[in-house]
Amino acid sequence: MRLPDRPFARQGGPVVLAHRGWRGLYPENTMLSFQKAAELPIDGLEIDIHSTADGVLVVCHDPTVDRTTDGNGRIQDHTFADLQQLDAGYRFSPDGGQT
């Protein structure tokens, strides 16, 4: 994935950032979401960073995993290994994450 080389300002127009990647069509803050957003005419990605219980930095908009995964709780209370077991795309299943 490579974004265009446009240092924070577009000549004659606003800077366009993809917040959380291509949220809505793809699970937010996933590599797939970032890759798909990079295919659009954007200037960059805007992300939020949180630290896990074992000090690993991860990308997530919310301080908890409740809304975006099949897990629950605060990111800072989970280890990175814990978070790797969660499914960030389960809500994007045909039945809305029911199975």
pLDDT (tens digit, 9 = 90+) per residue, 48-64? 999 999 999 999 999 99
Of the candidates 68, 65, 66, which has an alpha carbon nearest to the alpha carbon of residue 33? 68
N-to-C CA span, the chain: 31
**Cut 0.85: pTM above it:** no
What tokens does 51 get? Answer: 């630290």
Burial class, 42, CB count within 10 angstroms (exposed 0-12 / middle 13-18 / buried 19+) = middle
- The residue type at 82: D
Q: How far apart are CA 12 and CA 91, in angstroms?
A: 39
Q: Where are the domains of the chain?
A: 17-47, 48-94
Active site residues: 19, 61
Q: What is the pLDDT of residues 16-51, one digit of tens each?
A: 889 988 888 888 888 999 999 999 998 889 999 999
Query: Diameter of the chain by CA atoms?
Result: 48
